[in-house]
Amino acid sequence: MRTVRQARMVLNGTRARIYEIELVDLANAKDARYLVNFRYGWQGAVLEEGTRTPNAVTEAEAIRIFESLILARQNQGYVAPD
């Protein structure tokens, strides 16, 4: 397993919220071999984990999901940390 791309975003406020996204390559799989995972929570706390792809998907589909997650968080006010 290897991380191909990742993004970290912050929603500033009284307490900062963190959102991290990873595009992961499952090296041993054949065609559909990518996952999109995320973590979120308050800065300094243990982050909750999840996935947008319970089953592996193609690279093109994984990139689409990865970028749509970034756009969705930007629309909520999240920005890249300084």
pTM score of the predicted model? 0.88
Q: Are 43 and 17 a contacting pair, CB within 8 Å?
A: yes
pLDDT at 30: 66
The mean pLDDT values, 10 residues at a time, for the chain of 82 residues are: 92 90 84 90 95 93 96 94 76
Confidence (pLDDT) at 14: 76
Torsion on CA atoms 29, 48, 60, 81, rounded to nearest 10: -130
> In angstroms, rounded to a whole number, what is the distance separating the alpha carbons of residues 16 and 8?
12
Task: Look at residue 47 in the predicted model and tell me its pLDDT.
Answer: 96
Closest CA to 6 of 78, 19, 59, 75: 19
Q: What is the pLDDT of residue 6?
A: 96
